[in-house]
A and B are shown apart, each in its own frame.
Chain A
Amino acid sequence: MSLLQTQGLSRHFGGVQAVREVDFELPAGETRAVIGPNGAGKTTFVNMISGRIRPSGGRIRFNGEDITGLRNWQRARRGIVYTFQITSIFQNLSCHDNVALALQRSQMTGLGGRLHLDVDALRGQAWAVLERVGLAARIDEPAANLPYGHQRLLELAMGLALAPELLIMDEPTQGLSESEVMAFCDLIRAIGRETTVLLIEHNMSVVMELADRITVMNDGAILAEGTPAEIAANLEVQRAYLGT
């Protein structure tokens, strides 16, 4: 059964049709990349899935449940986790506090949990998450002190701390150096073994290496879908990208 399904998903901004009638399915466990030229509607599409933008039409189902009417925070609670394209960590907080903020949400149940949490246990969990992205040594450093590449990792760590069922990443490697991109790929591959990943990415070598399947969007609609090899050989995709 597919984890995520959209039917006729559309969104227009005034007269501009950003996404038109998209039917999309994502099976559980897959790592899917969404590619397409600028303005193809990729970001609008995933923003409708994460709940940051309301669709003008169509339905979204997640785990068999219709989530079209749910708010972004309700979707996050159901396991749809979004990591931001523009790094949006809490600069004034330490790495620990950033991750702890994500971790503590599921633990804040009942009045007791809202008023008091075991800070030492929370710290242990934050440590474990930061360890995964390689930031454990900087646990007490303010996020603002981290170099950009590490801030991206912290952003990802906050996503992981939410124990996502579906991890949506919007251009995770943007602005990273080549060596950082390599390390990031290894990390995403490891994450992809445990959870379903939906990735918007411009860097084609990253896409080809990570994606189980690729969805190509153009002009607000799905142009093609297939394995990396199929997409690479697809003439229509080449035309959309290269304009030939």
Chain B
Amino acid sequence: MIGAPMGTGRDRPWRVPLVVIALLLAAQFVLPDYHHTNMTRIMVFAVFAIGYNVAFGYAGLLSLGHAMFFAAGLYGAGLSAQFLGVSMPLAFLFGGLCGLVLALVVGLIALRTRGVSFMIVTLMFSQAVFLTILYFNEFTRGDEGFVLAQEIRQLRLGDTVLSLTDPALRYNLALGLFAACYLLGVALLRSPIGRVLVALRENESRVQMLGYNTFGYRLLALTLSGALSGLSGAAYALLFAYVGATFATTQYSIYPLLWVLMGGVGTALGPLIGTGLMFYLVDFASEITSSYLIVVGVVLVLLVLVFPKGLIGTLQERWRGARS
């Protein structure tokens, strides 16, 4: 893209992502154990946030039911590994596929509605998934959940057997997944499809009159979003060995919305920053008081006031303003 004619002022889109990924790669050697594990968790959840951002940030689909896609991945991977003895990589991919298929099916129905109705329909679907998990208590162990057996959490590469209990391996697997999804998010934003999605968010009827099948594009965004959320859930199950119905509750539909809002809606880096910030905010607040949600709430309100477009979104805007 460098040296494009007619002075477009186009930036180098891959510079920031590569720096961020390099920093994360280096961080594992300096982080104390506690933060090392936290970072692994944050990167896995950041993938969930990236998935949410594709639907909400790029295509303007405000879903209140994304926990169902995360849970689809979580249970898809967890159950297939636990009961069917599926290998880790396959269980992981199967989890992503579960998220994708669920999003496709839900999308075909829910995308006939818009705005508030869409929020309610996705919320209801998500609730139905949650209740389904409780209903099949025999396999899912309901609220209590189940822990993946240690002996199945192994990666076989030829003769070498790697255990997913190893923190360094977990960190780097999470980083690999995050990096891939992060770069995918950047590439999507810059692709022809991404440009249509962003335009769709602003004015759907205009996009239609340009000859685009907007239903198809919204479905594509939701399906991709569901697949990424599913991959995140699958990674969580396999890396942290726990599968439980808590992850299918409404709280886990609200979290990705908050992460994305905090980091910056529609930005590629926002999901990671928002997820990390929220994680440490909860962590810090719960150390000083048992009613930590009050602290979290106050900070959220302040953040929205100071950074109305999220941290990254507002900083980007100010930087652009300063340049021109």
Mark A residues whose CB is within 8 Å of B.
50, 52, 71-74, 76-77, 81-82, 84, 88-93, 96-97, 100-102, 104-108, 113-117, 119-120, 123-124, 127, 139-140, 158, 162
CB distance from B6 to the nearest CB of A (A): 7
Q: Which residues of A contact B212 (CB under 8 A)?
A: 73, 105
A90's partner among B4, B9, B203, B213 (CB-CB below 8 A) is B203
B85 to chain A: which residues have CB within 8 Å? none
The one of A81, A88, A100, A114 in contact with B203, judged by C-beta atoms closer than 8 angstroms, is A88
B193 touches A115 (CB 8 A): yes
Partner of A120, one of B4, B191, B211: B4
Q: Which of B4, B5, B192, B206 contacts A113 (CB 8 A)?
A: B192
Q: List 10 A-B contacts (CB under 8 A).
A: A52-B209, A76-B209, A93-B199, A93-B202, A104-B196, A105-B212, A114-B191, A115-B187, A115-B193, A140-B8
Q: Does B210 contact A (CB under 8 A)?
A: yes
Measured CA separation A119–B211 after assembly (Å): 20
Interface readout for B1-28 with A: 1 if CB under 8 Å, 0 if not?
1001110110000000000000000000
Q: A93-B199, A123-B6 are in contact. Are A116 and B210 (CB under 8 A)?
A: no
**Contact, CB under 8 Å: A127 / B6:** yes
Q: Known contacts A104-B192, A115-B191: does B209 contact A50 (CB below 8 Å)?
A: yes
Q: Of B187, B195, B209, which one neighbours A72 at CB under 8 angstroms?
A: B209
What secondary structure prevails in chain A residues at the interface with B? helix
Residues in A whose Cβ lies below 8 Å from that of B6: 123, 127, 139
What is the total number of residues of chain B having a CB less than 8 Å from a CB of chain A? 26
What is the chain B residue whose CB lies nearest that of A104? B192
Residues of A within 8 Å of B205, CB to CB, are 52, 88
Q: Are B8 and A162 in contact (CB under 8 A)?
A: no
Q: How far is the CA of A96 from the CA of B210 in the complex (A)?
A: 15
Residues on the B chain within 8 Å of A108, using CB: 192-193
- Determine if B208 is an interface residue (Cβ-Cβ < 8 Å): yes
B127 contacts A by Cβ under 8 Å: no
Distance between A168 CB and nearest chain B CB, rounded to angstroms: 10
Given A90-B203, A101-B196, A123-B4, A116:B191 Cβ within 8 A? yes
Contact partner, B206, options A77, A90, A162, Cβ 8 Å: A90
Q: Considering the chains assembled together, what is the distance between the CA atoms of A113 and B205 in angstroms?
A: 23
- The CB with the most chain A CB atoms within 10 A, among B205, B206, B214, is that of B206
The distance from the CB of A111 to the nearest CB of chain B, in whole angstroms, is 10
Whose C-beta in chain B lies nearest to the C-beta of A77? Answer: B211
Residues of A within 8 A of B199 (CB): 90, 93, 101
